[in-house]
Structure 1
Amino acid sequence: MVLSFDEDFNVAWADPADAESIWAIDRVHFAHPVTPLGEDVYRVLIERSWEKRAVFVNGYAYMKDFAPPPTPREVVERGPAKVWRDEYLPAVREICDRLRGRDYESMPAAELAGMLPQVFEEVAAAFRYPTVVASALMEPGLMLAAFCDREIGPEGAVLAATLLQGFANASASAGLGLGDLAGLAAATPELAQALREGRQQDLASLPGGAEFLRQFEAFLREYGWRAEEWCLIHLPTWAERPETALMLVRRYLEDPSRSPLVSARRAAAQREETAATIEALLPPGQRERFREMLARASEHVLISEERAMWQLIGIGSGRVPLLALGRKLAAAGVVSEPDDVFYLRLAELRALARRARSQQARIAERRALHEHRRGLRPPDSIGRPLVVEERPLPSQIAHRYFFGTVVPPSGERVVRGSPASRGVASGRARVVQSLSEAGRLQPGDVLVCRSTAPPWTPLFAVAAAVVTDVGGILSHSAICAREYAIPCVVGTRVGTAMIPDGALVTVDGTAGTVTIEAQA
């Protein structure tokens, strides 16, 4: 397929037909380069979930003729929400339990390496179920946004999206769970002080500590196995390293006014105000149609965030057998750390499990290359250019409101994107590349990142505003910014590159601008 490529994403193709095809990047789910083993995992996942061929250029995934997968007709006829709850969700739970529950430790390394193709298929199956219902579940929300855009004007789509906030959903529930833990700790001064000082090792011996840890472990069982983002199977989950979750509890303790519960109440109030605003702006003859469309779209966020959570749990659960193999190879001297396996290919792992040879030097080179590639700026497509306006209408709508469209060029002091959550806020920009850096975000900072996924959501209670490189007004980042009722600008393409870390910025989530007021 791909013979070679360079850092400018110029590609030499084996098949001339591939060179004339459109290979597009999904910037919402694959905003970052994947590791060598990630290429093997995600190739299977993409082929099973999207039913598309994939190539990887500088670690970035490109899909041939990319479009959201259609929901099977029988699922549409029976009702996608019902099928998801009654059939697909139980199936995904069972797959994830199986991935985490096998006794990998008793398997010889060669046997475990030999079953990795089966593991990849299971991860892909767990991902496929929530993916194939996406189009049908998202359609009412997309149609509502398009209707309000057409009837009200450019502000209409964001107003429509605001109506989908303030409802209970999986991502918001994770934040509320951490808020409940902060409230539990606040009731016991010694416990709260230990958390503020980062003395996790002392919690069990303190008054209230045993109950706090019991509830924290329950939280991790529910939410801890989510991968940090869809394409980051190589990064640890909260179940493995709970420090980020405890840091967020500490942030909520420091400033109770920024708790997720306070944000949820504010979002619900904004939703009610916005409904009245839209009714007043619409022509009288369109108000009944608006109410009907809103009723159909009411489940959008609830199901959308639950789907996303289980996609990520499937990926996080797939780490368990891979790390089990990593521990065996570390004991044999093949790798230094268990997570080094993510920098080897499947064929290499299977060979090394049969005949151990040190790979430390190779892994160090590949880690450095992967880190370098994180700084590259991949184009929207390779091969033939992607022209959204030439796509079928449903695909155009999805690209505009979910994946994000091209925005006006940014200037030296003003970064432009799509307005996604209304309001204006100022604060210090904190450019965060991964959740491992989340501790740098202080209350009132502006979170600037490439993209977000459900595990990032509790950070929104700490931030004054959110700015992302990718996504549209119905992407995860936009949905959760509205859930926390903070300004948000998405799809800037250049925010993480142009906004200096520590600079004072003003985010206008209504106009879609980020103004750099002063350098750090």
Structure 2
Amino acid sequence: DLPEFEDEEIVFKHLGLSKSSFTLYDNFHKLVMLHFRLWQKHFEMLNLGYAAYLTFYMFCKEKFPGIPDQHIARMVAGIESILFRPDQECRRLARLAVDLGLKDVFLKKLGYEKTIQELEKSSNGKKWIEELEKIKYPWFYYATGAGFFHTEPRWIDNMDIPFSFISDYVEKITRGEEIELPTEKLRKEREELANQYKSLLKDPADVKTFEENLQLARTVFPYVEDHNFYIEHWGHTIWYKKVRNIAEILVNHGIIKEINDIFYINWHELSQILYDLCANWAVGVDTVAQYNWPEEVRRRKEIIEVVKQNRPPPALGKPPEVITEPFTIMLWGVTKDRIQQWLSGATAAAEKKLVGLPASPGIVEGPARVVLTAEEIVKVKEGEILVAPITAPSWNPVFLKIKATVTDIGGIMSHTAIVCREYGLPAVVGTGFATKTIKDGQRIRVDGTEGVVEILD
């Protein structure tokens, strides 16, 4: 915060710059630029992954007319992604707890603080805690949602979240259940599928191109998921902490009432607020910002609350004649046919049948669990089918509980699609109305091969 007086050395040593006000103002702008730099890296990694996959995708579409998108995606499945590492660490810690004879502590599901207290009573418990401390940074710098928003709790700030997953894994191990991903099985299947398609090529040059494009896609494609951890989760966790440090200063000077009020002010406005604060501090008077910003923040909060009451439809208006932008298609599943389907969604809902994109193969039936927010993910029970607007990377531990996933939005390269393929779960994405049509507990059938969801109740 700004002190009552500047250090004397600023004057007596002729430093010329205020260590307090100048540093505060300068650091704020560095923080803004850091966010821009983070997102340059975001798109660099994302676009590399998509470009490599798109090259392979377009080659396959040209040489194998009628090849399902899902087959192309399955040929690059079985990836190793940094984004899966937090979940891997939870599973590793669960296995370690069992190996050290600590399973009974975790089966009590006491939460983070009480579990740590119990573990500290034994030497093996202390060994386990040492392992936990080694991996908390960076692997628990992980948001409960997609990582974009300041409202999403981070594992590192609420350790009850990863501890609930660890306890669930201990329980699974105790029951003799498998907690590892079927990566080797997927790799075997992808080789069989790739060889089947490669055998259809007669020109040696085409075979060479197929092999090169496939290898490139498999090498670079993990970036599509990896960037999520580096930027949205690890990067944003640290970045939001720094923003809240600035918010503490604004609270101390009466400019905002609560720490998170800072997120109702854009960075251009914050720059002006901090400039005025520093200038007024320099001459020993209160900042004028304290007289108008508390009321303005209150007004903006009210607007947001009203907007939150309404969930927009997946599509409005007249669809374009053609959609060719590949990222829009692959990531979000937005095509002309899909938009038209969304616009006529009421008819599909009345028929108790939803059609989406077949994202991961398989057919299962089970009770639905509708999850609209990250906070609701804890409600998911063993054997349920997850129905959500879209899924988040930090939900990965839940994918070992569920039987399938259905989402409102998403394409063949959406996070939901990628993770379900890696976890061996059927998935239908881009249904448009799943969360509005399907109710908690309803029995549904998910056909991830054809992209159809039926309500059986």
* Amino acid paired to 2:307: R
Unaligned runs of 5+ residues in structure 1 are 1-106
SS at match of 1:415: strand
* CA gap 1:211/1:269 in 2 versus in 1, 3 angstroms: farther
Find 2:330's aligned residue among 395, 401, 406: 401
How far off its partner does 1:420 sit? 0.9
How far off its partner does 1:210 sit? 2.6
How far off its partner does 1:172 sit? 2.4
**Matched residue, 1:211:** 127
The 2-side partners of 1:251 and 1:154 are apart by 42
Do 1:146 and 1:157's aligned partners in 2 also have CA atoms closer than 8 Å? no
How far off its partner does 1:429 sit? 1.9
**Matched residue, 1:302:** 222
Do 1:166 and 1:265's aligned partners in 2 also have CA atoms closer than 8 Å? yes
Do 1:267 and 1:484's aligned partners in 2 also have CA atoms closer than 8 Å? no
**What number of residue pairs does the alignment pair up?**
405
* CA gap 1:191/1:438 in 2 versus in 1, 3 angstroms: same
How far off its partner does 1:367 sit? 4.3
The 1-side partners of 2:172 and 2:296 are apart by 46
1:456-467 matches, within 5 Å, as: 456-467=395-406
* Amino acid paired to 1:294: L
Are residues 1:291 and 2:224 paired? no
Find 2:43's aligned residue among 126, 131, 135: 131
**Matched residue, 1:236:** 153
Find 2:83's aligned residue among 159, 171, 175: 171
* Amino acid paired to 1:404: G
1:45-84 matches, within 5 Å, as: none
The 2-side partners of 1:452 and 1:492 are apart by 14
Are residues 1:264 and 2:197 paired? no
* Amino acid paired to 1:254: E
1:35-434 matches, within 5 Å, as: 112=24, 115-152=27-64, 156-194=68-106, 196-202=108-114, 203-206=116-119, 207=122, 208-227=124-143, 228-256=145-173, 260-279=179-198, 282-285=200-203, 287-312=207-232, 313-331=234-252, 335=256, 337-346=258-267, 347=269, 351=273, 354=287, 355-356=289-290, 366-367=300-301, 369-374=303-308, 375-377=310-312, 387=320, 389=322, 391=324, 396-406=325-335, 407=338, 408-409=341-342, 410=345, 411-412=348-349, 413-434=352-373
The 1-side partners of 2:130 and 2:305 are apart by 37
**Matched residue, 1:479:** 418
**Matched residue, 1:438:** 377
How far off its partner does 1:488 sit? 1.2
* CA gap 1:260/1:126 in 2 versus in 1, 3 angstroms: farther
* Amino acid paired to 1:433: L
How far off its partner does 1:230 sit? 4.9
Do 2:404 and 2:446's aligned partners in 1 also have CA atoms closer than 8 Å? yes
Do 2:382 and 2:402's aligned partners in 1 also have CA atoms closer than 8 Å? yes
CA RMSD of aligned residues (A): 3.3
TM-score by length of 2: 0.77
* CA gap 1:255/1:125 in 2 versus in 1, 3 angstroms: same
How far off its partner does 1:277 sit? 4.6
* CA gap 1:216/1:271 in 2 versus in 1, 3 angstroms: farther
* CA gap 1:422/1:222 in 2 versus in 1, 3 angstroms: same
Do 1:420 and 1:509's aligned partners in 2 also have CA atoms closer than 8 Å? yes
**Matched residue, 2:282:** none
* Amino acid paired to 1:318: W
The 1-side partners of 2:147 and 2:270 are apart by 24
TM-score by length of 1: 0.68
* Amino acid paired to 1:247: S
* Amino acid paired to 2:214: L
SS at match of 1:510: coil
The 2-side partners of 1:154 and 1:488 are apart by 21
* CA gap 1:292/1:113 in 2 versus in 1, 3 angstroms: same
The 2-side partners of 1:351 and 1:279 are apart by 62
* CA gap 1:439/1:361 in 2 versus in 1, 3 angstroms: farther
State, as a whole percentage, how many aligned pairs show the same letter. Answer: 23
1:16-64 per-residue CA deviation (whole Å, 9 max, x = no partner) reads xxxxxxxxxxxxxxxxxxxxxxxxxxxxxxxxxxxxxxxxxxxxxxxxx
* Amino acid paired to 1:164: V
The 2-side partners of 1:361 and 1:246 are apart by 40
Q: Which of these two proteins has the greater Rg computed from alpha carbons?
A: 2
Do 1:419 and 1:490's aligned partners in 2 also have CA atoms closer than 8 Å? yes
Q: Which has the higher contact order (CA 8 A, sep 6+)?
A: 1
The 2-side partners of 1:108 and 1:258 are apart by 57
How far off its partner does 1:336 sit? 5.2
How far off its partner does 1:360 sit? 6.8
1:203-242 per-residue CA deviation (whole Å, 9 max, x = no partner) reads 2442333333333333331223344325313423222223
1:449-476 per-residue CA deviation (whole Å, 9 max, x = no partner) reads 2223432333322221122222211222
The 2-side partners of 1:447 and 1:480 are apart by 13
Unaligned runs of 5+ residues in structure 2 are 1-18, 278-286
* Amino acid paired to 2:223: I
* CA gap 1:179/1:278 in 2 versus in 1, 3 angstroms: farther
